[in-house]
Amino acid sequence: MMSAHRTPGSVFIAEEYMTPVSQTIRPLTEFLSSDCYETDDGICIRPITPVFGAFIENLPWTTGLGRQNPQSISTIKEAFDRYLLLVFQPQTASAQELRDFVRQFGPLFVHHADEGVIPVKDVPEVLQMLKEPDGERLFGGVCWHADVTFRKPAGYLSALHAKQLPPVGGDTLFASTVAAFAALSPGMQKMLRKLEAVHSYSGPDAPDHPTETAVHPVVRRHPETGEEGLYLNRMFATRFVGMTPTESEPLLKFLDEHMTRCEFTARISWTEGQLVMWDNRFTLHYPINDFSGYRRLLYRCAAMET
């Protein structure tokens, strides 16, 4: 039975055409003989959810990995293409080691300083994501988003290394926009493939500097896997090309709510020394600001598309 609803100013959604994710997404574990499998170079990969994400074990990424073992970097790149979100077991690492590791995936992004975001001395590619016990604002903790979509080329991957954590709280949520796109109706998919969106860094979370704007297709195809994913987010996507912000709002709202449905998400609870790396082209993330009274410090490094 089809159910439908329409509210003032909203897009008409017929729920009959919203395909369950279990019927549209190939489980990432379907070819795995166990919960954790080992690659030829000894790296252990353990899926986080049936949709996306994996834990990476037995990989000393802090020891000049690319110079010592190029095959391991190739394995990580393949896993990253498949899982979109990788969580590495805790290791002690300097800002320089984090920079050198991320540099092997693409050109690095140098972010401007902002409240709670301070470049590491002599390592400007690495940011200190700091919230003090008396702080209220958490950088990026406004809404679901992907990093640096307001540029072209845009952000490719981001990596966070946990240095100091609160005793509880401060988790980060991630969502697969590949899973979200696959669950849409064929008609909606066809329509969205024709659209482009304007991404702008000018909202309330932007610092006082000239606005940066870029136009991107709403649907992108992964260059390695061929899978399609939605490419827009509420922090930076302001409207669709050829439409006003008011006209764009109902569809933007629907897609934001759809992309962040619980079955498309993973929740990462941090451990000190843990490294988390995600694909900004095909995931969204949301840092939870629920740890007032405690200090948290993460090191962030990001690579751009080429």
- Give dist(CA 274, CA 168) in Å, integer: 15
Residue 6, pLDDT > 70, answer: no
50 preceded by a cis bond (ω within 30 of 0): no
Domain membership of residue 57 (yes or no) is: yes
Domain membership of residue 183 (yes or no) is: yes
246-277 pLDDT, tens digit per residue, is 999 999 999 999 999 999 999 999 999 999 99
Helical H runs in the chain?
65-68, 70-83, 95-103, 177-182, 186-193, 245-259
Domain membership of residue 16 (yes or no) is: no
| Residue 196 · residue 240 · CB < 8 Å | yes
Q: pLDDT band at residue 14, thresholds of 50, 70 and 90? A: very low
78-99 pLDDT, tens digit per residue, is 999 999 999 999 999 999 999 9
Enclosing domain of residue 136: 27-304
Domain membership of residue 22 (yes or no) is: no
CATH number at residue 289: 3.60.130.10
Three-class DSSP labels, 251-276:
HHHHHHHHHCCHHHEEEECCCCCCEE
Averaged confidence pLDDT in the chain: 86
Mean pLDDT of 115-129: 87
Domain membership of residue 1 (yes or no) is: no
Beta bridge partners of 212: 201
Question: Cβ contacts of residue 116 below 8 Å, gap of 6+?
Answer: 129, 130, 131, 135, 137, 138, 139
- Give dist(CA 157, CA 105) in Å, integer: 8
| Residue 78 · residue 109 · CB < 8 Å | no
Mean pLDDT of 126-137: 90
Structure confidence at residue 61 (pLDDT): 82
Mean pLDDT of 2-29: 45
Domain membership of residue 32 (yes or no) is: yes
**Total structural domains within the chain:** 1
Structure confidence at residue 255 (pLDDT): 98
Report pTM: 0.86
DSSP 107: P
- Give dist(CA 257, CA 143) in Å, integer: 11
Which of 54, 85, 304, 303 is closest to 176 using CA atoms? 85
Structure confidence at residue 101 (pLDDT): 93
- Give dist(CA 198, CA 240) in Å, integer: 6
Domain membership of residue 146 (yes or no) is: yes
135-184 pLDDT, tens digit per residue, is 888 876 679 999 999 999 999 999 999 999 999 999 999 999 999 999 99
Domain membership of residue 206 (yes or no) is: yes
